[in-house]
Structure 1
Amino acid sequence: MQLNSVSGAWQRLGLSESAPSPISEKSSSSRTAYLDGLRGFAALMVYWGHHQLWAHDGQGAEGIFENAYGYKGQYYFACLPGVRTLFSGGHFAVSVFFVLSGYVLAAKPLSLIQRGELKALGDNLSSALFRRWLRLHLPVICTTFIYMTILHLFRIRALPETKSTYLEELWNWYAEFKNFSFVFRGGGEPWFTYNFHAWSIPVEFRGSITVYTVLLAFSRFRANSRLCGYLFLIVYFLYIADGWFCALFVAGMLLCELDLAAQIDETPAILTKLRRWRRPIFYALLAISIYLGGVPSHNSDLQTLRDSWGWHYLSFLKPQAVYDYKWFYLFWAATLLVASTSRIAGLRRFFELPFNQYLGRVSFALYLVHGPVLWVLGDRLYAAVGWARVSHPTTCPGWIDRLPLPRVGPLGMEISFLAPHFVLLPVTLWLAELVTRVVDGPSVKLASRLYGKLLVDF
């Protein structure tokens, strides 16, 4: 893989070390453009899954979408293996984010390691580590502050409930964020109530530190020694310690190393021998990924998994170290998906489609804004078309059944559910575009400029 292609992808992914500029060049020029599209599509799945659960809350949506087909006598098309991921694939999508981040964060440093440019590697890791916290948290600060202010000034009933005065609201926002932003905290609530979906940002930062640390520690190793080191760490994080998110990042590093090695014909011999069966192998891995991506995730009780159709025997693979079993199966699902995407031409072309490339460009902002849009506008539109929630008489009584629509169609695809998205999806994408241009891009430039200002010439 050419260095300029790798670094281009490294710069354009939303949670990568460098985010895309507000007006970026076409990602299709990159040989790794499919990574952008995969990440964008995963962000759309997060949007879709959260709306499914919110609108269908009155039907006990979590107990349906987040359990296996046929669990407790509930048989829905949306819960079939493979299909269910399209309706409740949020955790799968987050796992994919982490593998992709491990890949793109490691791409340029590994290229430098392969060329033996260790001084340049030190400069790269120094810059990356300095800018990483700012790159991830500045957009969270801006979007949650604006959301908090709008809720309070216009007295909008949504999530969270507003305080009595703006000063009290401001203090609550600050107190929550300062704890949320310290990623090594040992207690307290993991949620930032002004955007619950941002829970993955501190995890992303901890995973990033894992990547940088491993790169530095392995920088003087031979290529095969690095590969063995990645495998050892994956085993450690999955089977010895409960470090599932670290395993996802390291898996991304492993895939990146293998791709770079393939470009210079240094693929490990054991993989070279399998080359003739490459096509059926990766189609099989994709099928396994899709199946494991639908792991029941309603709770962390292993007995629930064991009682689920199609998961009884798979439940015995769960390591003792992993507390919440879903992350073990999602590790394999996400890793196999990223690995197979680049080797299956049709799948790769799908993620290189212009719409998926666009989603990849705004994916970080889409991830941050879709929750507030759901809680303010989405909640009211769902109430208007007839989707009831216990909170509606309090949050939006004037919207209830203002424009009732028929619930015709299978679960998750009803007319009354789909219709609001003719408004919700454009509004969400417009806000994502706005945040990408006004907040995300400038945040990246600010972090880079600040690092440059503080450098000392030796």
Structure 2
Amino acid sequence: MSQQRPSLLDLSGSQEKMGLLDDRSEKSPSELESESSYEFNNPTSNDKTAQWLPILAAPAVKLGSLHWRQLFVRFLIFLIPSFLQGRIVRDTGRPAKLFPTSYLDGMRGLASLFVYFCHYSYQAFTIAEGYGCGETNYHILKLPFLRLWYQGPAAVCVFFVISGYALSYRPIKLIRSGQWSEFSNTISSLTFRRLIRLYLPPAISTLMVILFLRLGLFEYTRQFATDRKFHKNIMEPHPWRMETTREQLSDWASQMFKFVHVWDWGGGGGRVAYDVHLWTIPIEYRCSLYLFLVIVGTARLQTRMRLLSVFGVFVFTYWNSRWDFLLFLAGMLLAENDLIRGAHDPVLPKDENDKSTTRKCTTSWFWDALALLGLYLLGQPDGRGEITPGWIYLTSLIPTWWGAEPFRYWQGIGAVVFIYAVAHSAFWQRFFNSGVVQYFGKISYAIYLMHGPAMHIVGYHFENWAYSVTGLEGYQYNAGFFLGACFCIPTVIWWADIFWRAVDIPTVKFAKWFESKCVVKA
């Protein structure tokens, strides 16, 4: 009896309820075997090729069965970017439900994408200097605002402010409503799950790098990675392939131990050779712990005293030039400010409803203009701001005692100003809540973790090919750079999309499940 085989659309539609390894077939093993059995002619005993034929054909026999075909097709569907899969178009385009702070997710998504653009660009060009600095920096893409597309340090400042906001919003909301039992559960949960949330995905991504190293995939582009003909500015050598897998795993374990880096305030501490871009993760973790300490320490204070105390910690942090924790604290203050003014309440405050049309337009223009000011400050050049037009005076205002990198000063202020303004701007919130931007928000962490491996393994092939097509001299080099980007950017997004679904989402679920198994039941 013939069996009806599932169509691609049938498998696609049912994938929402089935895992990649979940077999829902109702057929018996005998039926499956009878469908896909093969007959081989018995060769003569001295025909060695024929003796191996059944063994070599075994994979085909397996794939010929309905069970393995289902798994194989599901796997292929899983490799398709989520926004192209009909079963989840609604989920990955515009979310079914936008939350009041969803615009921050979109903002974080674009910031993550810009970090990748930074790491793609800085290997080819000097991007740290602003427009008009010296005699060579007159490219249009170095102008204020435009340079934000590839200014990674500015995006990191945005990350830290958003993290401070997101981590403190719910605890502060519970504090303000006096729900102390729920506050205790929430702050405990955040603290417990933070390590898993931050470190499990990069542990998996760096293990993937180990696997690719052992398979030799890095060797095809190792010479390209250190060739000055192609990388005229900063080079990122491949991680080193050791003699044995055991040595490699031992080295990985040692580096991951140092990666959980909470004991040293040094900016470069906690770097891992298997992905040099991950240096911000130990900083995120350390600042998260300090933020939780401040939240708990000020929880029982009156609102005025709590704000005064947090502001005191803010000033103390500022005087010690800790730009990273400063931005987390700024995010906390922005979260409390939004709660005080009822920014995310379902009904607008009475004074908002009573505003005249003219006053509303004026207010809207003010916040939009303030957002532009924040973007300008975010565009502070990473280097030589003291001789860059538009930044000479602002650079002179940086305190002489400021111990961090000078560019962190105005970039940090710009991040706070921009996020503060966007919280009041309907225009900017609509932009960051748009479908495409929200999609990047969902895969933001995956972009951050995957852009390094994807570029080193696949992207360098595209770049090498692009330069072979265009040449390496003058504008030919620029053309090769942009031609390579046309292939590298989709590759990184594709890798990030897969990692988001295969690792990032399950990590969040695992952290919640693991916590549920560890906590004391009420």
Aligned to 2:51: none
Q: Which residue identity is paired with 2:339? A: L
**2:493 pairs with one of 407, 429, 441:** 429
- Superposition pairs of residues 378-457 of structure 1, within 5 angstroms: 378-386=459-467, 401=468, 403-404=469-470, 414-457=478-521
TM-score, normalised by the number of residues in structure 1: 0.81
Find the aligned partners of 1:266 and 1:407 in 2 and give their Cα distance. Answer: 61
Aligned to 1:308: 388
Aligned to 1:246: 325
**1:154 pairs with one of 216, 228, 231:** 216
Find the aligned partners of 1:285 and 1:106 in 2 and give their Cα distance. Answer: 24
Does the aligned pair in 2 maintain the 1:285–1:337 contact within 8 Å? yes
Aligned to 2:116: 47
Find the aligned partners of 2:298 and 2:307 in 1 and give their Cα distance. Answer: 10
Find the aligned partners of 1:453 and 1:105 in 2 and give their Cα distance. Answer: 23
1:242 aligned counterpart, secondary structure: coil
Find the aligned partners of 1:183 and 1:328 in 2 and give their Cα distance. Answer: 23
The answer as to 2:335 corresponding to 1:256 is yes
Deviation at 1:439, TM superposition (A): 1.1
The answer as to 2:214 corresponding to 1:133 is no
Find the aligned partners of 2:472 and 2:422 in 1 and give their Cα distance. Answer: 39
Does the aligned pair in 2 maintain the 1:295–1:329 contact within 8 Å? yes
Aligned to 2:72: none
Find the aligned partners of 1:231 and 1:278 in 2 and give their Cα distance. Answer: 27
Find the aligned partners of 2:327 and 2:208 in 1 and give their Cα distance. Answer: 32
Aligned to 1:198: 278
Deviation at 1:171, TM superposition (A): 1.5
Find the aligned partners of 1:181 and 1:94 in 2 and give their Cα distance. Answer: 19
Q: How big is each residue's C-alpha offset from its partner over 1:232-269, in whole Å with a ceiling of 9 and x where there is no partner? A: 2322222x1121111101111111111111117999xx
1:334 aligned counterpart, secondary structure: helix
**1:86 pairs with one of 143, 149, 170:** 149
Aligned to 1:69: 131
Find the aligned partners of 1:437 and 1:86 in 2 and give their Cα distance. Answer: 26
Find the aligned partners of 2:375 and 2:265 in 1 and give their Cα distance. Answer: 34
Mark the CA change 1:407 to 1:114 in structure 2 (over 3 Å): closer, same or farther: farther
Find the aligned partners of 2:458 and 2:110 in 1 and give their Cα distance. Answer: 23
Q: How big is each residue's C-alpha offset from its partner over 1:278-304, in whole Å with a ceiling of 9 and x where there is no partner? A: 434423322221221121214xxxxx3
Aligned to 1:11: none
Q: How big is each residue's C-alpha offset from its partner over 1:18-57, in whole Å with a ceiling of 9 and x where there is no partner? A: xxxxx78926521222111111111111111211112x1x
The answer as to 2:380 corresponding to 1:295 is yes
Deviation at 1:410, TM superposition (A): 11
Aligned to 1:105: 167
1:348 aligned counterpart, secondary structure: helix
Find the aligned partners of 2:521 and 2:463 in 1 and give their Cα distance. Answer: 58
Deviation at 1:218, TM superposition (A): 1.4
Find the aligned partners of 1:229 and 1:47 in 2 and give their Cα distance. Answer: 37
Find the aligned partners of 1:335 and 1:28 in 2 and give their Cα distance. Answer: 27
- Superposition pairs of residues 138-287 of structure 1, within 5 angstroms: 138-154=200-216, 156-157=218-219, 158=222, 159-185=238-264, 189-238=269-318, 240-263=319-342, 278-287=363-372
Q: Which residue identity is paired with 1:345? A: A
2:145 aligned counterpart, secondary structure: coil
1:71 aligned counterpart, secondary structure: coil
The answer as to 2:456 corresponding to 1:375 is yes
**2:415 pairs with one of 330, 334, 355:** 334
Q: How big is each residue's C-alpha offset from its partner over 1:180-214, in whole Å with a ceiling of 9 and x where there is no partner? A: 12322477854211111111101111121122111
The number of residues matched between the two structures is 399
Deviation at 1:130, TM superposition (A): 0.7
Find the aligned partners of 1:156 and 1:98 in 2 and give their Cα distance. Answer: 32
Q: Which residue identity is paired with 1:151? A: L
Q: How big is each residue's C-alpha offset from its partner over 1:328-366, in whole Å with a ceiling of 9 and x where there is no partner? A: 111111111111113222222111111111100111011
Does the aligned pair in 1 maintain the 2:432–2:438 contact within 8 Å? yes
Structure 1 stretches of 5 or more lacking a match? 1-22, 299-303, 387-400
* RMSD after superposition: 2.6
Does the aligned pair in 1 maintain the 2:105–2:438 contact within 8 Å? yes
**1:324 pairs with one of 405, 414, 436:** 405
Mark the CA change 1:104 to 1:27 in structure 2 (over 3 Å): closer, same or farther: farther
Find the aligned partners of 2:499 and 2:487 in 1 and give their Cα distance. Answer: 18
Q: How big is each residue's C-alpha offset from its partner over 1:30-89, in whole Å with a ceiling of 9 and x where there is no partner? A: 1222111111111111111211112x1xxxx23xx11121222121111112221223x1
Does the aligned pair in 1 maintain the 2:106–2:438 contact within 8 Å? yes
TM-score, normalised by the number of residues in structure 2: 0.71
Does the aligned pair in 1 maintain the 2:375–2:414 contact within 8 Å? yes
Aligned to 2:80: none
Does the aligned pair in 1 maintain the 2:217–2:457 contact within 8 Å? no
1:318 aligned counterpart, secondary structure: coil
- Superposition pairs of residues 10-21 of structure 1, within 5 angstroms: none
Find the aligned partners of 1:97 and 1:332 in 2 and give their Cα distance. Answer: 13
Find the aligned partners of 1:226 and 1:205 in 2 and give their Cα distance. Answer: 23
Q: Which residue identity is paired with 1:162? A: R
Does the aligned pair in 1 maintain the 2:385–2:391 contact within 8 Å? yes
Mark the CA change 1:189 to 1:236 in structure 2 (over 3 Å): closer, same or farther: closer
Q: Which residue identity is paired with 1:145? A: L
Deviation at 1:219, TM superposition (A): 0.9
Find the aligned partners of 1:189 and 1:221 in 2 and give their Cα distance. Answer: 35
User: Which structure has the larger Rg?
Assistant: 2
Find the aligned partners of 1:369 and 1:105 in 2 and give their Cα distance. Answer: 24
Q: Which residue identity is paired with 1:305? A: G
Deviation at 1:147, TM superposition (A): 1.2
Q: Which residue identity is paired with 1:451? A: E
